[in-house]
Amino acid sequence: MERMGTSIATTSTGPVHFLNIEYFFRLIYTAVFHLSPGPAGSFDYGVLLSNVWVFVTGVAYVACLGLLAVLAYTTIYMNQLKEEEHHLYDTLEPKDAENITEHSRWAHIQALVESPNENDWRQAIIEADIMLDDILTMRGFTGESVGEKLKQANPQSFRTLEDAWEAHKVRNDIAHRGSSFRLTGQIAYRTIGRYLNVFEEFHLI
């Protein structure tokens, strides 16, 4: 028993490594930098910090080189992608852009006239007349209204002038007579067909 007590006492008075913080720092330092502690077990924190700084700086350089490589690859890839899709983002010529716009407007008018609703037919004719006004203005006709512009037209150079007049008259009936003007599906389709003849003559659609 005595011997056992002495053993226990001796053990308890020895260095307790698991509570010695400096001991752990020394182990980490030695493992990372493969260096030995200073004389008499001293620990040179200046050297440790210097080596840590060198280590961190090296890691930072490697990380920066990696990021630069990723940036270079991304830039090259984006430029290649841009070249491949260049045709999708080309600026349209004004004439082409105008044709696309007019086709879109005409598609909307066609959708309205194909509706079973009379109010949609009225709207289709009104919007078609606005397109007629626009094309007359582009052709150099002047005036406050479509009627005034049509009066300046020459039937020899405006083959569908009669169609334009007849379609515009229906538009005026809708605008001035309101609900008292009975617009049938037959009249609506025929009127839109007249506008179509005009637009096709001037290659609007």
Is residue 15 predicted with pLDDT exceeding 80? Answer: no
b/e sequence 136-163, b meaning 16+ C-beta within 10 Å: beeeebeeeebeebbeebeeeebebbeb
91/197 Cα distance (integer angstroms): 30
Question: pLDDT digits over 114-124, tens only?
Answer: 999 999 999 99
**Segment 101-112 mean pLDDT:** 85
Where is 156: in which H helix or E strand?
none
Domain positions in the chain are 13-83, 94-201
Question: pLDDT digits over 152-200, tens only?
Answer: 999 999 999 999 999 999 999 999 999 899 999 999 999 999 999 999 9
Q: What is the pTM of this model?
A: 0.53
Q: Which of 4-13, 81-90, 122-131, 170-179 has the lowest mean pLDDT?
A: 4-13
